[in-house]
Amino acid sequence: MALTRDATAPARGAMARRPAFWLWAGACLLGALIAFRLIGAHVAAFPGGSIAGLALMAPALAAGVWMLRRLHPVRSRPVGYALISVAWGGLAAFGTALPANAAFQAVLAKTAGPDFAAVWGAAIAAPVDEEILKLLGVATLALMAPSAIRGPLDGWGYGALSGLGFQFAENFLYVLNTIVLTGATQDANAAFFSFGSRVVGGAWWSHWAMTAVGGAGLGCLLGRASRTAFLAAAGAFVLAMALHSWWDAPVMSGLALMPVKGAPILLAAIVTYRLARRRYLSHFRRTVHAETASGVFVPGEGHVLAFRKWRRKERWDVPAGEPRRLLARLRAAELDLIEEGLGGLEPDPLAAARLRARIRDLRRDLRASAANPRVA
């Protein structure tokens, strides 16, 4: 599993030497311990329902991770970074959100009354606590691997993955709650009901979508800090909390109205993605044109670089073995060079020059290997 995204990203050993890595590991462990302390007894009491819930929801989680990784328009997000984000959401954010939400709602009950807290507590407490905790996963990843977050598209993707991890853990909690509410007499049916309502019916506009919106704003700020980026990050975070509050508000309740209530959340995530994607592709085209004009890229390479299917087809036109490996390294270095210009938390002014030199060396080696002359 490769945790590095490009040639300038830290190796796994270097990542482990960063304090943020140990913050991530410690927060995930703490969240897991808190969650186990609060729901472990229920899991032990209802093993059949717990296993059924996990068996139903684990494939949905895997499908969600695959889909969110593939939503990058040029190349899939590294699986290592994706799993780091999912683990943060499902362990660190979820576990610490449980006591945080309880404490927030206790304060509301004392200040506004227990009746108000019972009705509106979730819509007030959860958006604040949970969106902050999930977004901290994006910031932690950026501190662990600065090249992972280079702009709003990266922030959107890893925010969505953090939200997806939280969503999975919360759905499992709902399985346990449903078992209790049904008198612990139909464990498997409770798992199927929770899967149908929470995954089949509600997964399209849940935590992944809310945190994707906030993550895009944070990614804009982490990619290149400015006053405009700060305002974008603040606005996206407020919007994510507003969407979360709308979803938890005691209005338009019931399964029949779920698509109507969830539509604004899904729409916000889609619009944010489209804007971030357009910004990324605009930078991609500009960089390809500039590098082609300077002689680093060969004319026509931009079209191959922009599409996975053309890169896959190209590999089959090259002899197996070292030529094919050289071609893969060349394409990876070229994509790294394109993304280097997006910025990042720790920009390296010499990285672009190193990547251009590496591209020239790889192209020379590829030519010497008698591989595809069109790319040599």
Model pLDDT for residues 60-92, shown as the tens digit of each residue: 999 999 999 999 999 999 999 999 999 999 999
Residues 292-325: tens digit of each pLDDT: 999 999 998 988 999 998 898 888 888 888 888 9
What SS3 class is residue 150? coil
* Backbone dihedral angles phi then psi of residue 309, each to the nearest 5 degrees: -65, -35
* Backbone dihedral angles phi then psi of residue 272, each to the nearest 5 degrees: -60, -40
Cα 303 from Cα 305, distance rounded (Å) = 5
Q: Positive or negative CA dihedral for 252, 255, 256, 259?
A: positive
- 158-167 exposure pattern, b = at least 16 Cβ within 10 A, e = fewer: bbbbbbbbbb
Cβ atoms of 166 and 207 closer than 8 Å: yes
**H-state helical runs in 71-113:** 79-87, 94-112
**pLDDT band, residue 197 (cuts 50/70/90):** confident
Residues 339-355: tens digit of each pLDDT: 999 988 888 889 999 99
pLDDT the model gives residue 252: 86
**129-152 average pLDDT score:** 95
**140-167 average pLDDT score:** 96
Cβ atoms of 89 and 232 closer than 8 Å: no
Burial, 315: exposed, middle or buried (Cβ in 10 Å; 0-12, 13-18, 19+)?
A: middle
Question: How far apart, in Å, are the Cα atoms of 55 and each of 43, 52, 121, 185?
Answer: 14, 5, 32, 19
What's the whole-number average pLDDT of the chain? 90
Which residues fall within 8 angstroms of residue 363, CB to CB, at 6 or more apart?
Answer: 298, 330, 375, 376
Q: Which of 250, 242, 255, 251 is nearest to 209 (CA)?
A: 242
Which one-letter DSSP state was computed for residue 295? T
**253-269 average pLDDT score:** 90
**189-202 average pLDDT score:** 82
pLDDT surpassing 90 at residue 123: yes
Question: How far apart, in Å, are the Cα atoms of 343 and each of 26, 145, 223, 279, 280?
Answer: 29, 13, 5, 13, 12
**Two tokens, residue 115:** 């009746």
* Backbone dihedral angles phi then psi of residue 66, each to the nearest 5 degrees: -60, -45
pLDDT the model gives residue 321: 84
Query: Using N-to-C axis directions, what is the helix angle for 187-194 and 152-181, rounded to 10°?
Result: 150
Q: Which of 175, 167, 171, 344 is nearest to 269 (CA)?
A: 167
Which one-letter DSSP state was computed for residue 149? -
Q: Which of 280, 1, 326 is nearest to 314 (CA)?
A: 326
Q: Which of 221, 244, 32, 234 is nearest to 130 (CA)?
A: 244
pLDDT surpassing 70 at residue 374: no
- DSSP E strand boundaries for 4-123: none
Q: Which of 310, 315, 3, 317 is nearest to 145 (CA)?
A: 3
pLDDT the model gives residue 58: 93
